[in-house]
């Protein structure tokens, strides 16, 4: 039986919803054969019965190609088109509302609900001028549609915050090393038995964690 299979070559050809489906199955199962079947079924849009009818070498060849695809680390996708609308990444993070921040922080590391975080980060563009644009106001009750967004945009936005956290952490460390070294030494020396070192380390860790939105 001949089965035609379209294999995505880029993360832009995979939806966030597809990845969520596979991730849930993967998190609940360790059977490699089942996972291989589900990988082909979900990402290539074929039925499980069709996968079972495929040549075993073809199945594992496809899963290897898909695995390589998911190794991609795309740069931040600022715009993408979905359902006839152009969506844009939130233009100014500093102008994010507290409610938006709460939802983003709550859902960005939760794969079951990460589409809700994406609804904060990406919204339809209402006005554009040159490289700049404005996006629609955030709507809490309009998040399920984001399951259809391209996976490269979802992954790139997560990597953006991860990299931002690293950069901010490094900036803080450089600042302390260059500007605060003498004050830090005086501070540590002023406390007996090295207690200050542990206290300062804990405080610095808290500062660095506050600088980035949690991903776990």
Please tell me the total count of domains within the chain: 3
Predicted confidence at residue 208, as pLDDT, reads 39
pLDDT band, residue 141 (cuts 50/70/90): confident
Would you say residue 1 lies in a domain?
no
Domain end call among 137, 154, 171: 154
Residue pointed to by tokens 């984001």 = 146
Per residue in 87-136, pLDDT tens? 999 998 888 888 898 888 888 878 899 999 999 999 999 999 988 999 99
| Edge-first strand listing for the sheet containing 132-135 | 79-82, 85-89, 122-129, 132-135
Per residue in 12-48, pLDDT tens? 999 999 999 999 998 898 899 999 999 999 999 999 9
Predicted confidence at residue 190, as pLDDT, reads 46
Would you say residue 101 lies in a domain?
yes
Confidence (pTM): 0.76
Range of the domain at 129: 79-154
Predicted confidence at residue 197, as pLDDT, reads 35
Mean pLDDT value across residues 139-167: 87
Alpha helices in 44-150 (DSSP H): 48-53, 56-69, 98-107, 114-121
């Amino acid at each position: 039986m001949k089965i035609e299979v379209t294999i995505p070559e880029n993360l832009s050809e995979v939806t966030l919803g597809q990845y969520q489906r596979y991730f849930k199955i993967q998190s609940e199962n360790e059977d490699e054969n089942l996972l291989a079947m589900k990988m082909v079924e979900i990402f290539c849009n074929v039925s499980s019965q069709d996968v079972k009818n495929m040549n075993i070498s073809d199945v594992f060849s496809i899963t290897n190609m898909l695995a390589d695809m998911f190794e991609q680390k795309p740069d931040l996708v600022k715009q993408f088109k979905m359902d006839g609308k152009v969506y844009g990444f939130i233009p100014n993070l500093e102008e994010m509302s507290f409610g938006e921040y709460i939802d983003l922080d709550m859902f960005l590391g939760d794969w079951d609900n990460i589409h809700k975080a994406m609804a904060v980060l990406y919204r339809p563009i209402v006005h554009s001028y040159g490289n700049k644009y404005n996006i629609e106001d955030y709507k809490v009750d309009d998040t399920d549609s984001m399951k259809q967004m391209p996976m490269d945009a979802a992954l790139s936005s997560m990597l953006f915050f991860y990299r931002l956290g690293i950069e901010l952490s490094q900036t803080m460390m450089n600042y302390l090393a260059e500007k605060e070294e003498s004050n830090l030494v005086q501070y540590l020396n002023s406390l007996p038995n090295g207690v200050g070192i542990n206290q300062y380390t804990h405080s610095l860790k808290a500062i660095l964690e506050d600088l980035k939105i949690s991903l776990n």
